[in-house]
Structure 1
Amino acid sequence: MAVIFVTVGSQKFQFDRLLRAVDDLVSGGCVDGGAFAQTGACTYVPTHMRHEAFLGRESFRAHMGACDVVVTHGGTGAIIGAVKSGKKVIAVPRLSKYGEHVDDHQVEIVCQFGAMGLIEPCMEPADLSNAYARVIVNDYLPYQSNTERFCADLSEYIDEIGGVR
């Protein structure tokens, strides 16, 4: 039994296409554990899942902790946060042509995380049912931070140019 947590972020942009797609998925009986959506600035009101526009930090953590699958927009923070929490992730990029963002940078983000084997990319909300079927049966790589390596490389570079740490 899989529970879905949907997050569309807290920016001023709507992502109604994604909410509708998840609502349709739930109403079609594909999600046996139900779903909860953090809807942000969306105007679409889900009818087949519980929802709230904005969540406090603790409520967000609780929903993240209780779910099996996170369906999210293509923001780096949302994706990394879900992967770090050990969740299976379906990421759908916001597109500027629908007024979901100022440009299409999330397409690159979703493609990159998908190519790394960390998430299930879903380029169009209309393909969400197929992405959900894949995410349930597939395994994904765990997130590994490269912060220590980055700091070591930066320190080495500073030493090489004669800088002071």
Structure 2
Amino acid sequence: MIFITVGTQRFQFNRLLKVVDKLIEEKKLEEEVFAQIGYSTYKPKFYEFKDFINGEEYDEVLRKSEIVITHGGTGTIIKAVKLYKKVIAVPRLKAFSEHVDDHQIQIINEFSEIGFLEKVEDLSNLNEAIINVRKHEFKEYVSNTSNIILQIEKSIEGEV
């Protein structure tokens, strides 16, 4: 199962949801997909979704999933990585009114460089990323939250 989660901030992430719908429609993606779509205005046609799910339901869907496709929220990424999920992260971008700035690019780059996830900057590469993560073994997460946050902050501030 693939779990798509776009967070709970008051921004849409229609771009990601539409690409997944297209992959399913074109039969490039044939497994079960469930999405938590937040404030997105696009409603998927070919997979199940809810606008929001509570913490218990979120944890249940996350546990059942093999692959998690998410935005660049650190909490979502860390939770999925801790559960040994194969994570594909797509940054929300200011240019598409998905966030106030492009900080998620830096966050995702850091997690990618550490070896925790597959990053997708261009959504035309999403299908390839799904194929790749199935074959890839990612680095195991060892809790070191304060150091990771410090490294991400330094990177965002241009100190690394």
2:102 corresponding residue in structure 1? 104
**Aligned partners of 1:148, 1:136: CA distance in 2, in Å?**
29
2:51 corresponding residue in structure 1? 53
**Aligned partners of 1:147, 1:98: CA distance in 2, in Å?**
30
1:75 corresponding residue in structure 2? 73
**Aligned partners of 1:47, 1:147: CA distance in 2, in Å?**
38
Structure 1 gaps of 5+ residues are: 151-165
**What is the aligned length?**
148
1:159 corresponding residue in structure 2? none
Percent identity at matched positions?
A: 43
Q: Is 1:136 matched with 2:134?
A: yes
1:154 corresponding residue in structure 2? none
**Aligned partners of 1:149, 1:92: CA distance in 2, in Å?**
23
Structure 2 gaps of 5+ residues are: 149-160
Q: TM-score, normalised by structure 1?
A: 0.85
> For the structure 1 residues 96 and 145, does the alpha-carbon distance in structure 2 shift closer, same or farther, using more than 3 Å as the test?
same
**Aligned partners of 1:131, 1:69: CA distance in 2, in Å?**
11
1:5 corresponding residue in structure 2? 3
Matches within 5 A, 1:11-26: 11-26=9-24
One-letter amino acid of the counterpart of residue 115, structure 1? E
